[in-house]
Amino acid sequence: MDVGAKIAETPRRMHIARTMPELHAALEQTGPVALVPTMGALHAGHLALLAAARQAGGAVAASIFVNPLQFGAAEDLASYPRDEAGDLAKLAASGCDLAWLPAVGTMYPADAACTVEVAGPAVLWEGALRPGHFAGVATVVAKLFGQLRPHTAYFGEKDWQQVQVLRRLVEDFLLPVRIAPVPTVREPDGLALSSRNRFLSQEQRAVAPRLNANLQRAAAAIVDGDDVDSVLSVAKAALADAGLPVDYLALVDALSLQALSFARPPARLIAAVHCGPVRLLDNLAV
């Protein structure tokens, strides 16, 4: 019998921690971790972050926490999809070593007095449309970093602006963690995977890939030297005509998120549109 192969096939036990003492006990077992923060309802996009973390070789932790602080009053906190049993099974199957599922009171004790406000890349776009959103994201991520002390944290490029906000958090507070961005995982028709896509009707799901298609067309036109403002206007009109009203569609500096009126590296096309009950976000390198 090939003992080595047998050992390699044995699934590693995944620690599940819900309280700080449980987390500390689990971290003593795992040693230093790479972290994949999530809000659960896991899909192949999240699993790509886990795969990237696993590929680095060390222990991997994933957090599942639907963070109330990053939802606006009119947003979908109560109806945000939750599937703890399914998520834990997916994490275990993808070789996660530690699942961290804190209660709201663990993340936000009654006497907590600090939040993290981010300016710079957090001001425009999602930041302008969702006041307080990035403060909520930066605050919860700072807490997760304090709790798990990860050497690396993996985030999806699907939320491009979020990655830049978290880069600033780490740089400005000299946090000893590396931010590792992971490319967007898409459906075969180009739609970026998202936990909220399950709320699309069949008709809406059929239209949703037009967002990525229009971004691709716009990126190609900009690379060809077409006038940026005209390209953006045409793309916005095409999206609106397709039934995807546009919150924003902009060419931006990929790090500062400032709008650009001509392409120069590093540039990114970023967009948010409405598709029925769901806001779809996407972005592309230009």
Report the catalytic residues: 46
Of 17, 23, 35, 49, the one binding ligand AMP (CB under 6 A) is 49
Is 265 buried (19+), middle (13-18) or exposed (0-12) by CB count in 10 A?
Answer: exposed
Residue 150's identity, in one-letter code, is P
Piece of 38-46, 120-128, 168-176, 234-242 that binds ligand AMP (CB under 6 A): 38-46
Is 239 a binding residue for ligand AMP by CB under 6 A? The answer is: no
Is 77 a binding residue for ligand AMP by CB under 6 A? The answer is: no
Q: Are 162 and 136 in contact (CB under 8 A)?
A: no
Size of the site for ligand AMP (CB under 6 A): 17
User: β-strands 152-156, 267-275: how paired?
Assistant: unpaired
Q: Are 159 and 184 in contact (CB under 8 A)?
A: no
In the DSSP assignment, the letter for residue 159 is: G
Helix (H) or strand (E) holding 157: none
Of 193, 238, 259, 263, the one binding ligand AMP (CB under 6 A) is 193
Piece of 39-47, 80-88, 226-234, 258-266 that binds ligand AMP (CB under 6 A): 39-47
In the DSSP assignment, the letter for residue 186 is: B
Number of residues that this document lists for the chain: 286
Piece of 37-45, 53-61, 216-224, 232-240 that binds ligand AMP (CB under 6 A): 37-45
Nearest to 271 by CA among 201, 225, 219, 200: 219
Is 215 a binding residue for ligand AMP by CB under 6 A? The answer is: no
What is the smallest separation between the CB atom of 249 and ligand AMP, expressed in angstroms?
Answer: 19
Is 185 a binding residue for ligand AMP by CB under 6 A? The answer is: yes
Residues that bind ligand AMP (CB under 6 A): 38-39, 45-46, 48-49, 155-156, 158-159, 182, 184-185, 192-195
